Amino acid sequence: MKLQADHIGPLAMFKIGVGPSSSHTVGPMVAAMDFRQRLEERVSTLANSDSLRIAVELYGSLSATGKGHGTDGAVCAGLIGLHPRFSDTQDIWAAMPNLIDSPEFKLGSAILKFNPDEDISWQEWLMDGKSLPHPNTIRFRLWQKDKILLEQITASVGGGFIEAIDPLTGQYLTSATEDKTVSLPYPFNTAAEFVAQCNQNDITPWQIIIANQEALGLKEAELRQQLDEILNTMERCIEQGLKTEGILPGGLNVKRRAKNLHAKMLSGQTSDRAANDLRPSVYAIAVNEENAAGGRVVTAPTNGSSGIIPSVWRTLREDHNLSRETLQNGLIVASAIGALVKTHASISGAEVGCQGEVGTSCAMAAAGATAMLGGTINQIEQAAEIGIEHHLGMTCDPIKGLVQIPCIERNAMGAVKALNAVALSLASDGSHLISLDRVLEVMKQTGLDMNQKYKETATGGLALG
Ligand code: SF4
Structural domain count, the chain: 2
Pairing of strands 104-107, 110-113: antiparallel
Residue 450 and residue 356 share a domain = yes
Residue 63 and residue 193 share a domain = no
Pairing of strands 147-158, 136-144: antiparallel
Residue-wise pLDDT tens digits, 82-98: 999 999 999 999 999 99
Residue-wise pLDDT tens digits, 109-132: 999 999 999 999 999 999 999 999
Is 177 a domain residue?
Answer: no
Q: Which residues face 182 on adjacent strands? A: none
Cα of 357 to ligand 1 centre, how many Å? 7
Residue-wise pLDDT tens digits, 5-45: 555 589 999 999 999 999 999 999 999 999 999 999 999 99
Is pLDDT at 174 greater than 60 in this prediction? Answer: no
Q: From atom 1 of ligand 1, which residue's Cα is the shortest distance away?
A: 396
Which atom of ligand 1 is nearest the CA belonging to 65?
5
Residue 211 and residue 150 share a domain = no
Is 289 in contact with 256 (CB distance < 8 Å)? yes
Secondary structure (DSSP) of 110-178 = EEEE--HHHHEEE--SEETTEE-SSSEEEEEEEEETTEEEEEEEEEEEETTEEEEE-TTT-PBPPPTTS
Residue-wise pLDDT tens digits, 278-315: 999 999 999 999 999 999 999 999 999 999 999 999 99
Cα of 299 to ligand 1 centre, how many Å? 13
Q: Judge if the beta carbon of residue 463 lies within 6 A of ligand 1.
A: no
Residue 147 and residue 211 share a domain = no
**Residue of 341, 357, 443 with the most ligand 1 atoms within 8 Å of its CB, for mutation:** 357
Residue-wise pLDDT tens digits, 430-457: 999 999 999 999 999 999 999 999 999 9
Question: Alpha carbon of 255 to those of 204, 220, 263, 369, 402: distances in Å?
Answer: 43, 42, 16, 31, 14
Residues 6+ apart with CB under 8 A from 315: 277, 279, 280, 283, 415, 419
Q: From atom 6 of ligand 1, which residue's Cα is the shortest distance away?
A: 407
Q: What is the pTM of this model?
A: 0.93
Q: Judge if the beta carbon of residue 458 lies within 6 A of ligand 1.
A: no
Q: How confident is the model at residue 178 (pLDDT cuts 50, 70, 90)?
A: very low
Residue 223 and residue 126 share a domain = no
Q: Judge if the beta carbon of residue 349 lies within 6 A of ligand 1.
A: yes
Is 419 a domain residue?
Answer: yes
SS3 106: strand
**Residue of 410, 455, 459 with the most ligand 1 atoms within 8 Å of its CB, for mutation:** 410
Q: How confident is the model at residue 190 (pLDDT cuts 50, 70, 90)?
A: very high
Query: Distance (Å, rounded) from C-alpha 43 to C-alpha 106?
Result: 11
Secondary structure (DSSP) of 162-217 = EEEE-TTT-PBPPPTTS--SPPPSS--SSHHHHHHHHHHHT--HHHHHHHHHHHTT
Residue 350 and residue 458 share a domain = yes
Distance between alpha carbon 19 and the CA centroid of its chain, in Å?
10
The arithmetic mean of pLDDT across residues 337-365, rounded, is: 97
Is 344 in contact with 446 (CB distance < 8 Å)? no
Q: Worst-scoring range by mean pLDDT, 126-140, 174-188, 252-266, 380-394?
A: 174-188
pLDDT at 172: 75
pLDDT at 177: 47
Residue 26 and residue 11 share a domain = no
Is 296 a domain residue?
Answer: yes
Is 173 a domain residue?
Answer: no
CATH number of the structural domain spanning residue 143: 3.30.1330.90
Residue-wise pLDDT tens digits, 135-150: 999 999 999 999 999 9
pLDDT at 401: 92
- The rounded percent of the chain whose pLDDT value lies above 70 is 95
Listed residues 165, 200, 231: the one ending a domain: 165
Q: How confident is the model at residue 378 (pLDDT cuts 50, 70, 90)?
A: very high
SS3 194: helix
**Domain coverage including residue 66:** 22-165
pLDDT at 7: 58
